[in-house]
Chain A
Amino acid sequence: MNSQVEVIDEILECYPEKPEYLIFLLQDIQSAYGYISPESMQAVSDYAGVPITQVYSVATFYQSFRLEPKGEHELRVCLGTACYLKGGQRIVEELERKLNIKAGETTEDMIYTLDTVNCVGACALSPVMMVDDKYETNLTAGKVNKILKNIETE
């Protein structure tokens, strides 16, 4: 496997060395690593010619950027309006209890990260959550427990 530095260099080289590509760079680094480390922030800052403080300000302003490593599985519960009205909040609370973390956090064993999102476009099947890239639909507390069990036995 390539070292993180090499991969980051590869990502950087896809874009011109201009400040306007800052968000592109951070997005690509995040999709490669799941989060943006202080080192990659420095690399981006040097490459795009943007002060590190501004890289940090962009990385913290946008919700999709994550500054800490995420768990092996990412659970993103939809709290868009349709899902909220059909009990999405109950699903979040159930997962918070089951995993013993709050939304936005990662379990200590680094297996689960729990997040909320606003509408993933499957409102007809609300409440919805995404388990990594898979949609889980028409959720109930019972279904959530089954999903967790399935992940554990995988």
Chain B
Amino acid sequence: MTNENTALNTKINSGRLNSHEDLNALRQQIIDKHDPTKLEVLVCHGTGCIANGSMEVSETFKKICETSGIDVKIKPNIKTTGCQGFCSRGPLVLINPQGIFYQRVKPKDVEEIIQKTIINNEPVERLLYKDPKTGEPIKTENEIPFYNLQERIVLHNIGKIDPTDINDKIAAGGYQALAKALTTMTPKDVVTEITKSGLRGRGGAGFPTGRKWQGALKAVDKKGGPVYVVVNGDEGDPGAFMDCAIMEGDPHAVLEGLILGAYALGSNNGYLYIRAEYPLAVKHLEMAMAQARELGLLGENILNSGFSFDARINRGAGAFVCGESTALFTSIEGKAGTPRPKYVRSVEEGLWGRPTVLNNVETWANVPLIIDKGADWYSKLGVLNNTGTKVFCLVGKVNNVGLVEVPMGTPLSKIVEDIGGGVPNGKPFKAVQTGGPSGGCIPYKLKDLAVDFDSLTKAGAMMGSGAMIVMDDRDCVVDVALYFLRFLEEESCGKCIPCRLGLSRMKEILDTFSHGKGSEKDIDDLISLAKAIQDGALCALGTSAPNPCLTTIKFFKEEYLAHINEQRCPAGVCKDLITYSIDPDACTGCGSCARHCPQNCISGEKKKVHVIDTQNCIRCGICMDTCKFDAVQVN
């Protein structure tokens, strides 16, 4: 938080809010205090940009603004935000109100930004994004295709507000939905609105949220309260950070959704279960909860409505299976999180054996939007039975890596090629893995597939929580299938045999393929084993585990056959099936490969062509990594 903001806070210091009018008055007060002509510098403090050094950038801004004797009238507000979305261009800096977008900003660039943009209202051209087709610089965020082809609704505030300052959120309309519900809607109205919106769970399975809530209400009718509401922020999918970005960048959205759910269900206690590796998300949510409590938006008698609700955070401890609902509840109870059979659904018998509603982070973040703008508005987004938008984490071999939000039903090619800017080497993508370890590989030939729950399931893949991993011709599908199986075998809790033994057997078979061994019959065995696991495993970790393997066999059988029959890995990945060599035309004799080779098996005189002794080569790939001239080739 900047000094200016702190000063603002102390001036506003509102105390407890007792009505919708109080909230509106506070909002107005914050807006009035804000000088619309004053420039705002938004420095991205999402995990990606922090990893890229954005903290030094914001520090430098603050330091220069404090010490350079800049006129107070033009001294900008410096704000730090959650992930602004375009992570591969980070550290990002946005200058408002103009919306000027600066990319790859280093601390040494700050002086120039202040001199040119803040003082003289001119852009710093070299820091602008360049249109990849024309090379022309683009000045504002809204003109950049990566942003303007998206429909950012859940992400609307992320990257714009300071997630550690509740006033910033209130000015942006935070807690309006809650105040509206508490004053003008009955709990039943809230459930009806969510049902009507068609919202489906964003955690993977796509179960209709309204129906889940109704199920819990029925259970409460039958056996009485208490009932619990829980946020699933475990985000175990290795290679996805949507939920992380939402919790870090707009924690109040998740919290407001949870409070609304609690009101709808008559719950007084909630839990937020957050992945161990997300310390910043935990910190921001803790701050958000403390600030909301202070204003009377969380805790006893919220907004003087008579409704009380509070929540606490449980940090995960590093077990993928704890994202599964029953395992998550067991973990909150303080035990080893293994799933249990769902003869009784968890809405009836969840946490502490009580009726419980568990929803994903993004699902909860959608709730305030629906209550605020109405189910009719919401259900017009997306396609039939798949309403609203979905946030994706677009990563892998794609030019524009980052957070992408589009309406459900958007064609895959629009996401990967138009928004994502396609594959770096300019060729068509080979496949896109959606849904992480439970999902599947979608080949280029299905590039026009609509990305929604039903279409993806039909193609054998899965929406999952929203990871989208783009692969190019240098990625081997056998290797990727093996990667996910290794991951799941390790994460299997071991409670049921189909998963525990089945996955390790599948892995063994795939492993033989990657060594160029095995036979076509093994592929058939693999498929029938996969079917048995799908039928027999206790929880969805097991039943969905074969998906990556089955979809790659379905769409890339020839690549499997190349491994088995020709001992060849077309993508040049599987170690036993490749050799490295040095292209004499490209080699400059710089010696970098020879210096780094752990086997000392590269030789050559200085400035002369180098050669790899393939007998001793362990195919670690380091020579290829270190060669600046792309002279090392895989055969």
Q: Which residues of A contact B (CB under 8 A)?
A: 18-24, 26-27, 48, 50, 54, 57-58, 61-65, 79-85, 87, 90, 93-94, 97, 117-126, 128, 135, 137, 140-142, 145
Report if A137-B51 is in contact (Cβ < 8 Å); known contacts: A62-B317, A62-B319.
Answer: yes
Query: B77 an interface residue at 8 Å Cβ cutoff?
Result: no
Q: Which of B475, B622, B626 has the most CB of A within 10 A?
A: B622
Pairwise interchain contact B48-A124, C-beta atoms closer than 8 A: yes
CB distance from B118 to the nearest CB of A (A): 27
- Residues of chain A contacted by B493 (CB below 8 angstroms): 61
Pairwise interchain contact B50-A81, C-beta atoms closer than 8 A: no
Q: In the docked arrangement, what's the CA distance between A23 and B493, Å? A: 17
- Residues of chain B contacted by A19 (CB below 8 angstroms): 333-335
Q: In the docked arrangement, what's the CA distance between A124 and B48, Å? A: 7
- Residues of chain A contacted by B236 (CB below 8 angstroms): 118
CB distance from B458 to the nearest CB of A (A): 23
Query: B314 an interface residue at 8 Å Cβ cutoff?
Result: yes
Q: In the docked arrangement, what's the CA distance between A5 and B596, Å? A: 47
- Residues of chain A contacted by B278 (CB below 8 angstroms): 121
CB distance from A90 to the nearest CB of B (A): 5
Contact mask B332-354 → A, CB, 8 Å, 1/0?
A: 11111110000000000000000
Pairwise interchain contact B241-A121, C-beta atoms closer than 8 A: yes
What are 9 A-B contacts defined by CB distance under 8 Å?
A: A64-B276, A84-B239, A87-B621, A90-B622, A121-B47, A122-B47, A123-B241, A140-B625, A142-B596
Query: B174 an interface residue at 8 Å Cβ cutoff?
Result: no
Pairwise interchain contact B625-A90, C-beta atoms closer than 8 A: yes
Query: B498 an interface residue at 8 Å Cβ cutoff?
Result: no
Q: Which residues of chain B from 209 to 266 have any CB-CB distance to chain A below 8 Å in the complex?
A: 236-241, 244-245
Q: Which of A93, A117, A124 sits near B401, CB closer than 8 Å?
A: A124
Report if A122-B469 is in contact (Cβ < 8 Å); known contacts: A94-B620, A142-B596.
Answer: no
Q: In the docked arrangement, what's the CA distance between A63 and B331, Å? A: 13
Q: Which of A64, A81, A120 sits near B395, CB closer than 8 Å?
A: A81
Pairwise interchain contact A118-B469, C-beta atoms closer than 8 A: no
Q: Which of B51, B238, B336 sits near A118, CB closer than 8 Å?
A: B238
Pairwise interchain contact B317-A63, C-beta atoms closer than 8 A: yes
Q: In the docked arrangement, what's the CA distance between A122 and B278, Å? A: 11
CB distance from B269 to the nearest CB of A (A): 12
Kindly report which residue of chain B lies nearest to residue A25, judged by CB atoms: B334
Contact mask B43-63 → A, CB, 8 Å, 1/0?
A: 000111011100000000000
- Residues of chain A contacted by B622 (CB below 8 angstroms): 90, 94, 141
Query: B397 an interface residue at 8 Å Cβ cutoff?
Result: yes
CB distance from A115 to the nearest CB of B (A): 11
- Residues of chain A contacted by B337 (CB below 8 angstroms): 61-62
Q: Which of B46, B334, B396 sits near A82, CB closer than 8 Å?
A: B396
Q: A63-B317, A124-B87 are in contact. List 16 more A-B contacts (CB 8 A).
A: A26-B317, A58-B336, A61-B319, A61-B336, A81-B467, A82-B469, A85-B480, A87-B625, A117-B277, A118-B236, A119-B237, A119-B238, A122-B47, A123-B393, A125-B52, A126-B395
Query: B296 an interface residue at 8 Å Cβ cutoff?
Result: no
CB distance from A42 to the nearest CB of B (A): 17
CB distance from A150 to the nearest CB of B (A): 16
Q: Which of B334, B395, B397, B626 has the most CB of A within 10 A?
A: B334
Q: In the docked arrangement, what's the CA distance between A94 and B596, Å? A: 10
Query: B96 an interface residue at 8 Å Cβ cutoff?
Result: no
Query: B147 an interface residue at 8 Å Cβ cutoff?
Result: no
Report if A81-B469 is in contact (Cβ < 8 Å); known contacts: A23-B331, A90-B625, A124-B395.
Answer: yes
CB distance from A84 to the nearest CB of B (A): 6
Pairwise interchain contact B332-A20, C-beta atoms closer than 8 A: yes
Pairwise interchain contact B395-A123, C-beta atoms closer than 8 A: yes
Q: Which of A18, A23, A82, A140 sits near B314, CB closer than 8 Å?
A: A23
Pairwise interchain contact B336-A57, C-beta atoms closer than 8 A: yes
Q: Which residues of B contact A (CB under 8 A)?
A: 46-48, 50-52, 87-88, 90, 236-241, 244-245, 276-278, 314-320, 331-338, 393, 395-397, 401-402, 433, 436, 467, 469, 471, 475, 480, 483, 487, 493, 592, 596, 598, 620-622, 625-626
Q: Which of B51, B393, B483 has the most CB of A within 10 A?
A: B51
Q: In the docked arrangement, what's the CA distance between A45 and B331, Å? A: 17
Q: Which of A23, A93, A126, A145 has the most CB of B within 10 A?
A: A23
- Residues of chain A contacted by B336 (CB below 8 angstroms): 57-58, 61-62
Pairwise interchain contact A141-B241, C-beta atoms closer than 8 A: no
- Residues of chain B contacted by A83 (CB below 8 angstroms): 239
- Residues of chain B contacted by A58 (CB below 8 angstroms): 334-336
- Residues of chain A contacted by B244 (CB below 8 angstroms): 121
Pairwise interchain contact A124-B402, C-beta atoms closer than 8 A: yes
- Residues of chain A contacted by B240 (CB below 8 angstroms): 119
Pairwise interchain contact A135-B51, C-beta atoms closer than 8 A: yes
Q: Which of B239, B401, B621 sits near A81, CB closer than 8 Å?
A: B239
Kindly report which residue of chain B lies nearest to residue A61, judged by CB atoms: B336
Q: Which of B334, B401, B436 sits near A123, CB closer than 8 Å?
A: B401
- Residues of chain A contacted by B238 (CB below 8 angstroms): 79-81, 118-119
Q: Which of A27, A85, A93 sits near B315, CB closer than 8 Å?
A: A27
Report if A94-B331 is in contact (Cβ < 8 Å); known contacts: A63-B319, A124-B90, A125-B52.
Answer: no
Q: Which of A48, A61, A125 sits near B51, CB closer than 8 Å?
A: A125
- Residues of chain B contacted by A117 (CB below 8 angstroms): 277
Q: In the docked arrangement, what's the CA distance between A151 and B596, Å? A: 19
Report if A81-B483 is in contact (Cβ < 8 Å); known contacts: A63-B318, A124-B395.
Answer: yes
CB distance from B307 to the nearest CB of A (A): 25
